[in-house]
Amino acid sequence: MNSDTFDNDTLLFSPSPKGGYVSAPDHLANRASFFGDGLFETMIFKEGEIRFRDGHWNRITEGLQQLKINGRRLQHIGELEAFLVGQFGSHAFLRVRWNIYRSGLGKYSPQENGTDELISIQQATSPPKVKQQTFISTSITVPKSPWSHCKTLNALTYVMANIEREEKGMDEVILKDTSNFISESGIANLFWKKDGTFYTPSLTCSCIAGVSRNALIQHLNHQRIPLIEGEFTEDHLLSADQVFTTNVSGIAYLQRIEGKEFDTSPIAEAESLFN
């Protein structure tokens, strides 16, 4: 093989079980794996529907605009939902991850701005309702950027936070932003309740704009239940009566944070969204 072999193409190789390297499939060269250049949605499919379907689609649309990716070729979420019904039936309980990334390759400067996509599907499981031990990380912070609220494929912050969590033998980790305000947990958005009022960090604290987070905010507002979004310190969080997280799987209550105990009784106003 010599330099003429390239002919302006990229050649891919992966390790061979027998030693050395062998040719690898072309599809492994993409901007998702090379640069984390894209978004993903994790969704629950239950009773023939994607839970919070419109919320997921709105977040995808806004995220693609933020990353300057043209979504004209993207399948609509309704088409994905119909595929899931046809493939698995309306009674399946599935966890669906939708990777959407910039097409083409290039280097840091893209060659294209269309979309490619990949769907991964698993049986959904019900996560623990109560997480017993939680700590607040002092070594990992959530960086601020114009797209920090987007669910991008560059999730290294959360990977490293959960490695730290496992090393400490904890059930959950809480992250701060670079201004030392409470941001989110290692896998979910964060809420707490004190004296009948709900609190959650603002998106200015670099947390992900969670679909479940938004659904709960709208629900509380509709019910005229007090809710404050803002920039909060660790002391404010630790003064709460109850602390819980929300993500696509539902709600998890945090029983103990930095040694302080919290009430883990189910909160009816929040639980009703995930029934």
pLDDT value at position 57? 98
Could you tell me the pLDDT band of residue 204, with boundaries at 50, 70 and 90?
very high
Q: Return the CATH class of domain 130-274.
A: alpha beta
For the chain, percent of residues with pLDDT exceeding 90: 90
Whether 153 and 36 have beta carbons less than 8 Å apart is answered as: yes
Amino acid, res. 257: I
The pTM is what?
0.93
Question: Domain map of the chain by residue range?
Answer: 13-123, 130-274
Amino acid, res. 218: Q
Flag whether pLDDT at 8 surpasses 60.
no
The secondary structure of the chain in percent helix, strand, coil, rounded to multiples of 5, reads 30, 35, 40
What is the number of residues in the chain?
275
Give dist(CA 88, CA 105) in Å, integer.
33
Q: What is the CATH number of domain 13-123?
A: 3.30.470.10
Same fold, 13-123 and 130-274: no
Give dist(CA 54, CA 44) in Å, integer.
13
